[in-house]
Amino acid sequence: MGTRNTIIAKCTELFLRYGVKNLTMDDIARELGMSKKTIYQYVQNKSDLVKKVMQSYLDREVTVIEEVSKNAQNALEENVRMLTYMSRELQTFNASVFAELQKYYPDSYALFNEYREKVSLQHILKNLERGIREGLYRDDMNPEIVARIYVYALDILIDQQRFPSRRYHFYTLYMEFVNYHLAGILTEKGQKVLRQGKLLKLIEE
């Protein structure tokens, strides 16, 4: 792994764990075990670093989505494997990250919003349509509306007034939302597939 990739990977971990605003470039240099001068060979400033971290994170998610979609045997497996991937990513997630991005790093938050609209929303919509065709999801729902509810529910989950992180760990919130989502879209056939296969175990791990 090259120096640039090392910086991006470590900063992704730091931002997700501790948030963005309170981490200074001195803190980051100390965690990386390198000088700020070295870091500035790869980024212009902290805002540029945050934007590069966001772009790298979103690129990785696109790769995961493509891989899962290609290998999943049905829509439910695709759905659960993505939910499982996200739940593992969020084990140490600091919910203040997105609020900080929105307030202090609008360029990075704009990247995230563009990703939600152009990638995440379309992926969820295709999965819902596939699941309906396969008889695993309810055919009496509007998949476009449900997809938008799912994607933009994040705005509620990260709202510190509604769900303050000192009281609600984001991982717990997300898993409750996952169970709520699956209960709302699965047919009896889908529920049976979830219970009988290894998929439920993936969620519970």
Q: 71-109, pLDDT tens digit by residue?
A: 999 999 999 888 888 877 777 677 778 889 989 999 999
Query: Tokens standing for 129?
Result: 């349509």
31 in any annotated domain: no
Q: Which of the two residues, 44 and 159, has the higher pLDDT score? A: 44
Q: Is there a contact between 56 and 8 (Cβ–Cβ < 8 Å)?
A: yes
| Helical (H) or strand (E) element with 77 | helix 75-89
25 in any annotated domain: no
147 in any annotated domain: yes
164 in any annotated domain: yes
Which residues does 172 contact at the CB level (< 8 Å), separation at least 6? none
Residue 192 has pLDDT above 70, yes or no: yes
4 in any annotated domain: no
- Give percent of the chain with pLDDT exceeding 90: 63
Please state which of the ranges 41-45, 56-60, 85-89, 177-181 shows the lowest mean pLDDT.
85-89
Residue 203 has pLDDT above 70, yes or no: no
pLDDT confidence band for 202 (50 / 70 / 90):
low
pLDDT confidence band for 67 (50 / 70 / 90):
very high
Q: At 186, phi and psi to the nearest 5?
A: -80, 140
171 in any annotated domain: yes
User: What is the domain count for the chain?
Assistant: 1
Q: Across residues 22-36, what is the average pLDDT?
A: 94
Range of the structural domain that residue 158 is part of = 47-204
114 in any annotated domain: yes
How far from 183 is each of 97, 103, 133, 176, 192, CA to CA, in Å? Answer: 29, 34, 18, 11, 12
pTM: 0.85
pLDDT digits (tens, 9 = 90+) for 103-162: 999 999 999 999 999 999 999 999 999 999 999 999 999 999 999 999 999 888 888 788
38 in any annotated domain: no
| DSSP calls for 154-204 | HHHHT-TTTS-TTTS-HHHHHHHHHHHHHHHHB-HHHHHHHHHSSHHHHHH
Residue 22 has pLDDT above 90, yes or no: no
Q: What's the pLDDT at 125?
A: 97
Domain CATH number, residue 102: 1.10.357.10
